[in-house]
Amino acid sequence: MIKEWLARGVIILGLVMVISIPAANKWQQSQGIVMHARMAETGGWTPENLTAEVGDPLHLRLTSDDVTHGFAVGQLDQPAVDINPGEMTDITLEFTKPGKYTFYCTRWCSVNHWRMRGTIEVTDPQVKTEPAKPPLYVTLGLNIDADHKASVTPAQMPSAWRGALLSQTVPDAYKSHDYYLAHTPVDLWLALSSEPSLKKLNDQDVWDLVAWVWQSNTSPEGVRTGKQLFAANCAACHGENGAGNGVFADQLAAGSGNTSSNQSMGEQTQRPANFTDALRMLSASPAHLQGKIIRGGMGTGMPSWGAIFTEDQTWALVAYLWTFQFQLEVNP
């Protein structure tokens, strides 16, 4: 009967539409790149490796399958975008230089948030890639894994403005940027203490001078940039006050010793470094700190940021780290 076939038709038509339209859309979407973001423990980025060409815009559709993530590409001048769960975010990347770029998550999504990384291999058919230059600590031959402890420490926190007020002349050799990069605050203190022209200064005054010299090698914008980078990337482990007591610190500390706390990642971790510890910080040079930031790793759980931060950003972060040891503001 017509009634019956009409009814059957309605049902079949409805079912076909409701299955085929989404299926067609899914197929169409798979022709482009849909990037799924998940916490590192449950898969991280999918796909993890992309390719692109210089001058050819790369379109990505980003979505999160669990919590809020973010997307940014290291050493590319592109603002980070948030990836909200269940929503699609569109982004277009343009590359001007070839190389292997690293993309990473920018919103903390677990203790392994920093491991959420992938690569974009960008080629330029016309240009040969130039070899990367080694970081400073390698050039200087520093062993950044060796134990180091300051032989002297200040009685109270040195401040740059008091150093400035002393109106002493510091020999040029010690004020140069190259000296700052390659030497520790303790080195400078020892050198200044044995300087004949500064003999009348007491120990604390010399520390203030050290702070002043250190401050002259940084800039307020650099420190500000470093502060923002620290809050977004480092505070969760190292603590908002740099004392190695961030929200993930206990979890990381539990992974030291023979057992691995990070079962899903199979790596040992340890308690994050305490930047307020003078014994450690004052016996480290800026190159040493930069090396640690760039390279990370080696069984400590410290991420490697070399592919993520530009060189300027890294030095800005180092400048900020000194604020845990010195009062760097000239006008307090």
Partner 1 sequence: MTDQNLQPQSSIRWWHWAILAALVLAVLFVPIPTGASAPTERTFRIEASRFEYTPSILEVNPGDKVTIELVATDVVHGLSIDGYGLETTADPGKTARITFIADRQGSFRFHCTTTCGNLHPFMIGKLEVGRNPFLWRMIGLVGVALFAGAWKGRK
Partner 2 sequence: MTRLQESLWVEDIATEAKDSRSSKNYYIASRVNLYQIPWLHAVLESRWPQFLARAVTLIGFVFTIATGLFGSQVGSHNFAIIMVWVAWWTTLKLGFIPLGGRSWCSICPIPLPGDWLQQGGILVKGERKFGINLRWPKSLRGSWLQSSGFLLIGLFSAVTLTDPHVTGWVLLALFALAIGMSLVFEHRAFCSYICPIGGFSGMYAKAAPVELRVVDKEICAKHGDKSCYQACPWGLYPLALKDSSACGLCMECLRVCPKDNLALNLRPYGSDLGKPKSSTRLDESWLALIMLGSALAFSAVFVGPWGWLKSSAFEIGSLAWMAYAAGFLALNMLFLPALFTLCVWSWKKLSQDRFPLKRLIANHAQGLLPLGLMAWIAFTISFALPKLNLVLVVLNDPFGWGWHLLNIANISKSLDVSGFSPYLQVALLLLGVFWSANVTRKLSRSDGKHNSLPNIPVLTFYLVYSVAMLWLLVG
Name the residues that contact partner 1, by CB under 8 A. 39, 66-68, 84-86, 107-111, 113, 231-237, 240, 246-248
Q: Rounded to whole angstroms, how far apart are CA atoms 37 and 100?
A: 20
Considering the complex, state which of residue 210 and residue 234 has its C-beta at the smaller distance from partner 1.
Answer: 234
Residue type, 77: D
- Alpha-carbon distance values, 2 to 5, 6, 8, 9, 17 (Å): 5, 6, 10, 10, 22
111 binds, among partner 1, partner 2, none (CB under 5 to 8 A by kind): partner 1
Q: How many residues contact partner 2, by CB under 8 A?
A: 27
User: Site map for partner 2, 242-281, x if CB under 8 A?
Assistant: ----------------------------------------
- Helix locations, 130-281, DSSP H: 136-140, 160-165, 172-175, 177-182, 185-193, 203-216, 220-229, 235-238, 249-253, 278-281
- Does 47 sit near partner 2 (CB under 8 A)? no
- Beta strand 117-123 with 49-53 is parallel
Q: Between vectors from CA 76 to CA 232 and to CA 317, what angle results, nearest 5°?
A: 40
Q: Which stretch binds partner 2 (CB under 8 A): 17-25, 132-140, 183-191, 246-254?
A: 17-25
- Does 187 sit near partner 2 (CB under 8 A)? no
- Does 18 sit near partner 2 (CB under 8 A)? yes
Note whether 113 and 45 are within 8 A (CB): no
Q: In sequence order, what DSSP letters do the residues of 62-77 get, joined into one string?
A: EEESSS-EEEEETTS-
Helix or strand (DSSP H, E) at 318: helix 311-321
Considering the complex, state which of residue 66 and residue 277 has its C-beta at the smaller distance from partner 1.
Answer: 66
Q: In sequence order, what DSSP letters do the residues of 4-63 get, joined into one string?
A: HHHHHHHHHHHHHHHHHHHHHHHHHHTTSEEEEE--GGGT-EES-EEEEETTSPEEEEEE
Q: How far is the CB of 118 from partner 2 (least distance, A)?
A: 20
18 binds, among partner 1, partner 2, none (CB under 5 to 8 A by kind): partner 2
Q: Which of residues 50-69 bind partner 2 (CB under 8 A)?
A: 61, 63-66
- With CA atoms as reference, report the closest residue to 231 among 250, 253, 223: 223
Considering the complex, state which of residue 44 and residue 286 has its C-beta at the smaller distance from partner 2.
Answer: 44
Q: In sequence order, what DSSP letters do the residues of 126-139 get, joined into one string?
A: SSPPPPPPPPHHHH
Considering the complex, state which of residue 42 and residue 143 has its C-beta at the smaller distance from partner 2.
Answer: 42
Note whether 305 and 312 are within 8 A (CB): no
Q: Which of residues 23-42 bind partner 2 (CB under 8 A)?
A: 25-26, 29
Considering the complex, state which of residue 100 and residue 227 has its C-beta at the smaller distance from partner 1.
Answer: 227
11 binds, among partner 2, partner 1, none (CB under 5 to 8 A by kind): partner 2
Helix or strand (DSSP H, E) at 121: strand 117-123
Considering the complex, state which of residue 7 and residue 247 has its C-beta at the smaller distance from partner 1.
Answer: 247
Q: Which of residues 85-144 bind partner 2 (CB under 8 A)?
A: 85-88, 90
Considering the complex, state which of residue 168 and residue 313 has its C-beta at the smaller distance from partner 1.
Answer: 313
Q: Rounded to whole angstroms, how far apart are CA atoms 44 and 69?
A: 10
Q: How far is the CB of 216 from partner 2 (least distance, A)?
A: 48
- With CA atoms as reference, report the closest residue to 327 among 211, 216, 189, 206: 211
Considering the complex, state which of residue 59 and residue 224 has its C-beta at the smaller distance from partner 1.
Answer: 224
Q: How far is the CB of 182 from partner 1 (least distance, A)?
A: 31
Residues that bind partner 2 (CB under 8 A): 1, 3-4, 7-8, 10-11, 14-15, 17-19, 22, 25-26, 29, 61, 63-66, 84-88, 90
